[in-house]
Amino acid sequence: MITITPSGRILGATIEGLELSRPLDDAALAQVTQALGAYGVLRFPRQRLDAAMLRDFSARFGELEVNVANAFPADGLPEVMILSNIVENGRPLGLADAGQDWHTDMSYSRTVAFANVLHAVRVPRRDGRALGATEFSNMHMAYDALPAELRTRLGGMTVLHDFEKFWEMMRRERGSARAPLSEAQRRAKPPVSHPVFLTHPITGRRVLYANPGYAMRINELPTAESDATLAFLFAHQLRPEFRYRYEWQEGDVLVWEDIGTIHRALADYRADEPRLMIRCQVMATKHVPCATGHARS
């Protein structure tokens, strides 16, 4: 029997009664998908998955992405990426600085992301306290709280998203080992545009779809007005009442949807406090957001 226990906060629920190493049947998939729309962030505790198991579970929600950087595949599987600060024999085991600022994944892609799936293998700790939390913000609530005049004015407008913006933000961080994107990588992910507001494919409600990590400009506005409007939207969507902080435990599988949330990883741990996760990115091939326009270069 599947049990769903809401966090009691703006996002989040815990689902128990599923062993994710086994195939997810259609009824369970439907129940989990509806819960994902209702709560945005789902925790499955006490799971033991290898990379292939995580891939198979994640693929039930849609097509899996292979990251454009094509780095740190788990067990040779390109759909599963290792996130880790561990260095073995002088070589990093995984990507150490993944997601350490506010963003939503794959907004820079013509097909946007539907969900992220992360499995915590090792969680950094200090004095018995878990570190490396993930923080989320609710874009349903952010849209609802916008001034009505602004919702009307921006309703038919689009935002340009660029993969290189976030990559370079991370490269500027102290100690980053990221190399600049190659020309081939930039060509693989050219900037694209999406509507400022999307209709969520599960809830049917409008969400704000412009995040600090990738959004560059509002195409229909002059540069200065676009910059000012985006600055307002970025500050607005991070209001404390929209935010939810998740503290990891070993064995957790966390699934969050990328259309109605933005997120960031908190890098409050040292190099000698090991963190190891494996990750899949589910694209919105099954759950396509309704939009007032089309992605364009």
Query: What DSSP letter does each residue of 171-225 carry, written as one string?
Result: HTSTT--PPPPPHHHHHHS--EEEESEEE-TTT--EEE---TTTEEEETTS-HHH
Across all residues in the chain, what is the average pLDDT? 92
pLDDT for the residue numbered 163: 84
pTM: 0.91
In the chain, what is the greatest distance between 2 CA atoms, to the nearest angstrom?
57
pLDDT for the residue numbered 67: 76
Taken in order of first residue, the domains within the chain and their CATH numbers are 3-286 (3.60.130.10)
Confidence of residue 170 (pLDDT cuts 50, 70, 90): low
The string of pLDDT tens digits covering residues 107-123 is 999 999 999 999 999 99
Provide the token pair at 81. Answer: 């990426």
Q: What is the mean pLDDT of residues 80-101?
A: 90
pLDDT for the residue numbered 293: 38
Nearest in space to 87 (alpha carbons), one of 295, 272, 284, 279: 272
